[in-house]
């Protein structure tokens, strides 16, 4: 649209918008990775892992279409690093070999079309409900930095559309750092070109950073430095 507008208005100078935009089609060096162009696709939750949290053939086609459209880098939808009762009951996971094999079909499709893809590693933390079938199947309680419930979320697939459950305070955050590490290893096995760590949205890493959700008095809470510790340790583990 920009190029067409420039032509219609007679703007044919060297500084026309079309000239400035041409750099978007040039390759981009990003660490050890070279992107074919500078267009990137942001993460979009799709909820297409029905009836489980294992990626499906529909997702293979979806990501292939995005890559075929010419995008240089795709950031995947949020990928759960462990089995959780989320408000997105059909979001994909990456904690089993079955997940790895299913994602490998997707990364292969993206690479066949000449694009690159990063896995967005996601832990929803306290944004869960005790009655969600996925959480019940995991047999694991809901944990967060502090036993404070998140507000305003609704589980529309549960009777009465309840809000988030109150979590338990996790005793050892290091266990969750290891969960992110294993997810990164699985992402590499699945053929992803890199990972993005989901650290916002009121989810696990964010709740450590925020002093309204993190009221710990140990090395993981209190000062800004301590509240940042968990996220920084996750980055370190994933990088390793």
List, for residues 87-109, the tens digit of each pLDDT value.
Answer: 888 999 999 999 999 999 999 99
The pTM (predicted TM-score) of the whole model is: 0.89
Mean pLDDT of 10-27: 67
Phi-psi region of 47 (alpha: psi -120 to 50; beta: other; left: phi over 0): left
In DSSP terms, 74 is beta-bridged to: 41, 117
Please, which pLDDT band fits residue 202 given cuts at 50, 70 and 90?
very high
107/185 Cα distance (integer angstroms): 15
E-state strands within the chain: 28-30, 33-35, 40-41, 73-80, 116-122, 143-144, 168-169, 194-197
How many C-beta neighbours within 10 Å does residue 226 have?
16
Q: What is the pLDDT of residue 5?
A: 32
76/78 Cα distance (integer angstroms): 6
Over 90: is that where the pLDDT of 131 sits? yes
Integer angstrom CA distances of residue 122 from 91, 95, 108, 175? 10, 11, 22, 15
């Amino acid at each position: 649209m920009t190029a067409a507008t420039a032509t219609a208005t007679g703007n044919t100078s060297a500084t026309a918008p079309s000239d400035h935009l041409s750099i978007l089609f040039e390759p981009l060096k990003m660490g050890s990775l070279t992107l074919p162009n500078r267009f990137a696709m942001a993460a979009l939750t799709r909820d297409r892992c029905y009836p489980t949290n294992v990626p499906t053939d529909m997702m293979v086609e979806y990501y292939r279409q995005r890559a075929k459209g010419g995008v240089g880098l795709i950031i995947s939808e949020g990928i759960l690093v462990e089995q959780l009762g989320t408000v997105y009951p059909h979001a994909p996971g990456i904690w089993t070999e079955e997940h790895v094999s299913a994602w490998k079909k997707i990364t292969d499709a993206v690479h066949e079309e000449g694009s690159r893809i990063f896995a967005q590693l996601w832990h929803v933390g306290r944004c869960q409900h005790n009655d969600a079938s996925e959480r019940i199947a995991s047999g694991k309680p809901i944990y967060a930095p502090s036993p404070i419930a998140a507000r305003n979320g609704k589980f529309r697939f549960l009777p009465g559309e309840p809000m988030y459950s109150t979590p338990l305070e996790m005793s050892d955050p290091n266990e969750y750092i290891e969960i992110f590490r294993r997810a990164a290893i699985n992402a590499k096995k699945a053929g992803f070109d890199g990972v993005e760590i989901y650290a916002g949205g009121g989810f696990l890493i964010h709740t450590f950073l925020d002093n309204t959700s993190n009221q710990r008095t140990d090395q993981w809470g209190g000062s800004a430095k301590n509240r940042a510790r968990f996220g920084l340790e996750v980055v370190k583990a994933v990088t390793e």
